[in-house]
Structure 1
Amino acid sequence: MKVLHVITGLGVGGAEQQLRLMLRHLPARCDVVTLTNPGAVAEGLRSDGVRVRHLGMRGNRDLAALPRLARLVRHGGYDLVHTHLYRACVYGRIAASLAGTASVATEHSLGRDEIEGRPLTRGTRALYLRTERMGSATVAVSDTVAGRLRDWGVPAARIHTVPNGIDAAAFRFDGGRRRAARALLGVPEDAFVVGGVGRLVPGKRFDVTLRAVAALPGAWLLLAGDGPQAGPLRALAGRLGIAGRVRFAGECGVDGAPDVPAALAAMDVFVSASREESFGLAVVEALSAGLPVVHGPCPAVDDLPAGQVPEGATRLRCPADPAAELTDVLRRHRAGGPHRLPVPRAVDRYDIRLSGRRLMDVYAHVLGSPAPAPTHSTTPSTRRSHR
């Protein structure tokens, strides 16, 4: 099976990183096309042995990109086109239809009121639904997203839930990694460190975490990630008088910054105060690192069956004053002293290998053929050919 993955951009982000990890576990020949921004994840994919092409799209209405993409699909001999993120789903489905190729789309970031951090307008929704009918199936990364798609009018028979996945072993806590990360960031070994990971954008509400840490004398904050809110968040830390105990680590694993497992190792409590999430991958990664987690809406936890919610996960319930509620929760965690928790069994639901098998089942359903047997190879050079 030969699959072309089409994604809006390949800068560092959740959907982009998930695509890279997923391709390591798909028994298929996979190429990638990015419409814009062939950033750090593109280089990572190439180092994995994946062929990556940049379509050079100049904006949302660059219609000249459409025939270029359709020709690429047609001439590449692909059995399937798999699209990721809103713009790529719109253009990719149309291009696949023009080329006579079946397509699947993964919906990574559909919220109640936003898609990919942008407000959902009537026009956005209409265009999404019109092009959704051109595809063969839509993959939701959580049951919550599947429900939103059904509420939009996407037929239930076209929706397949394939949760995001992680390699849990990569996040296992290591004391040496903790000490090295704290030394790199200039954080005292005995400090109580609150942390967050993600794009620094308004919807993640890192300002709430900043205000909560400011109310805890002596507590430190580590934010791993970058984005348009980096400047405003630094300014807020200054106004709150806590700039000296806040560390902005930058993009994980880029330009000397610690990678995600190292950043998590340096933390004592993980906070995700997002306004809404379509999955909550960072929360699952933190749980895999044995961290207590304080979170807002998070389908990865909220969608779990009763009795399977991890003991170390605390849900924020006060939208009117989340910073005050978060301060109280963090104060209790600090009083309990630094400790690591057993990795909850719920993390097994999000094993990347299981997600890969589920996705191959979707491919087989769309193409009307049995799913290929899973591969056990772990090296890019022997896993599959991309050229």
Structure 2
Amino acid sequence: MRALHIITGLGVGGAEQQLRLLLRHLPAQCDVVTLTNPGPVAAGLAADGVRVTHLGMGGNRDLGALPRLTRLIRAGGYDLVHTHLYRACLYGRIAARLAGVRAVVATEHSIGDTRLEGRPLTAGVRALYLAGERLGCTTVAVSPTVAERLRHWGVPEPRIRVIPNGIDAPRFRFDEVGRKEARMHYGLPEDAYVVGGVGRLAPGKRFDLLLRALSRLPGDVRLLLVGGGPEEAALRRTARNLGVADRVVLTGERPYLPHPRDDAPGLVDLLSAMDVLASPSTEEAFGLAVVEALAAGLPVLYASCPAVEDLPPDAAPGARRVTGSTGAYVRELLRLRAAGPDERTAPDAVHRYDIACSARQLMDVYTAALAGSTLEVSSP
């Protein structure tokens, strides 16, 4: 089977890194097209032996990208096209159909109650989404929560298949050496209590809440934010205004594992360097950073995480939902700090999200799409 994956960009983000991890486990010959931003994940895919093509799309309204993408699909002789993220799903589905590919699958990574990949869910966005969705065979939802949102939007239930994001859990196992090296690299004292946040620096992630919480926490508490995005300058300005800039580290985008020529630690070691992960975003589609933190044995405070909320209550005893704003996070962080460190072991929830299992389920979807059928919704 020859499959082409089309994604909006390949910067360091959850959907992008999930794609790379999936391709390591899919028993199919896969190429990748990125419409824009061939960032670090593109380099990682190339290092894995995956052919990556940058389409050079100029923006959402670069209609000239459509014939270029159509020609590329037709020339590749692909059996199936799989699209990821809003822009790629829209252009990719149309191009696949124009190229004569009937088996078209999409994964919905980032739909929230009121926003889609950071953009407000207006009537126009919804109408365009539904028009594109009808050109595919199956839409994969990364959680039952996302599946329910799709049904509410009007996507027919037989077209939806739940396949949760997966992780390579052993990779995230706590590493004492990695912890020390990561702290040393960023100047974090060995005895500091480090609150971590992982994700795109965008308004919806609400990392400014963690800065306000930090200003009310003891001086030995540090904040380590891993990710890049449009809010970076605003977050640095807020930290200065709150008088906590010297207690905040913003690492920028970091891959799971650093490139051999990159001396900065990767996400795996950065998770080891943390004492708790805080995820104040209220509109997560899955909560990949939370699951990765749990795999590293971290306690987690979250506002929204379908990956945990869709499981039995005892599956992730180290994860605690926090309702409320700054004060609620301050209280929970003080409670965890006072309780002291616990054994850094992964809970049962982590083992429910195995990337090899997700890849097997996705291959079932591919087989059904090629056979011209659909599969019923299933749970993780």
| TM-score interval, normalised by the smaller of the two chains | over 0.9
CA distance in 1, matches of 2:251, 2:65: 36
Q: Does the 8 Å CA contact 1:268/1:339 hold for their aligned counterparts?
A: no
Q: Does the 8 Å CA contact 1:194/1:220 hold for their aligned counterparts?
A: yes
CA distance in 1, matches of 2:188, 2:224: 9
* TM-aligned CA deviation for residue 307 of structure 1: 3.5
Alignment counterpart, residue 363 of structure 2, candidates 355, 360, 364: 360
Q: Secondary structure at the match of 1:257?
A: coil
Q: Which residue of 1 aligns with 2:204?
A: 203
Matched, 1:146 2:152: no
Q: Which residue of 2 aligns with 1:250?
A: 252
CA distance in 2, matches of 1:40, 1:11: 6
Q: Which residue of 1 aligns with 2:49?
A: 49
Q: Which residue of 2 aligns with 1:343?
A: 346
Letter in 1 for 2:292: E
Residues 326-345 of structure 1: per-residue CA shift (max 9 Å, x gap): 00000001101123343111
Letter in 2 for 1:231: A
Q: Which residue of 1 aligns with 2:335?
A: 332
CA distance in 2, matches of 1:200, 1:273: 12
Number of residue-to-residue matches in the alignment: 366
Q: Does the 8 Å CA contact 1:198/1:225 hold for their aligned counterparts?
A: yes
Residues 5-52 of structure 1: per-residue CA shift (max 9 Å, x gap): 001111111111111111001000000011111111111111110001
Q: Which residue of 2 aligns with 1:231?
A: 233
CA distance in 2, matches of 1:104, 1:281: 21
CA distance in 1, matches of 2:314, 2:348: 8
Q: Does the 8 Å CA contact 1:7/1:33 hold for their aligned counterparts?
A: yes
Q: Does the 8 Å CA contact 1:192/1:338 hold for their aligned counterparts?
A: no
Q: 1:340 to 1:224 in 2, by over 3 A?
A: farther
Residues 348-380 of structure 1: per-residue CA shift (max 9 Å, x gap): 11111111011111101111299xxxxxxxxxx
Residues 168-187 of structure 1: per-residue CA shift (max 9 Å, x gap): 10110011111111111111
Q: Which residue of 1 aligns with 2:179?
A: 178
TM-score under structure 2 length normalisation? 0.94
* TM-aligned CA deviation for residue 59 of structure 1: 1.5
Matched, 1:165 2:166: yes
**What stretches of structure 2 of length at least 5 have no aligned partner?**
374-380
CA distance in 2, matches of 1:350, 1:32: 24
Q: Does the 8 Å CA contact 2:16/2:41 hold for their aligned counterparts?
A: yes
CA distance in 1, matches of 2:271, 2:291: 11
Q: Secondary structure at the match of 2:352?
A: helix
Q: Which residue of 2 aligns with 1:270?
A: 277
Letter in 1 for 2:368: H
**What stretches of structure 1 of length at least 5 have no aligned partner?**
371-387
Q: Does the 8 Å CA contact 1:83/1:106 hold for their aligned counterparts?
A: yes
CA distance in 2, matches of 1:242, 1:325: 19
What do you get for the CA RMSD once the two structures are aligned?
A: 1.4
Matched, 1:260 2:267: yes
CA distance in 1, matches of 2:76, 2:174: 43
Q: Secondary structure at the match of 2:313?
A: coil
Q: Does the 8 Å CA contact 1:276/1:297 hold for their aligned counterparts?
A: yes
CA distance in 2, matches of 1:206, 1:186: 21
CA distance in 2, matches of 1:199, 1:257: 18
Q: Which residue of 1 aligns with 2:93?
A: 93
Alignment counterpart, residue 286 of structure 1, candidates 269, 284, 293: 293
TM-score under structure 1 length normalisation? 0.92
CA distance in 2, matches of 1:274, 1:114: 12
Q: Which residue of 2 aligns with 1:9?
A: 9
Q: Which residue of 2 aligns with 1:21?
A: 21
Q: Secondary structure at the match of 1:250?
A: coil
CA distance in 2, matches of 1:34, 1:192: 39
Q: 1:95 to 1:85 in 2, by over 3 A?
A: same
Q: Does the 8 Å CA contact 1:251/1:257 hold for their aligned counterparts?
A: no
Q: Which residue of 2 aligns with 1:299?
A: 306
Q: Does the 8 Å CA contact 2:315/2:348 hold for their aligned counterparts?
A: no
% identical aligned pairs? 64
Letter in 1 for 2:18: Q
Q: Which residue of 1 aligns with 2:378?
A: none
Which residues in structure 2 correspond to 1:57-96 (within 5 Å)?
57-96=57-96
Letter in 1 for 2:95: A
Q: Does the 8 Å CA contact 1:249/1:258 hold for their aligned counterparts?
A: no
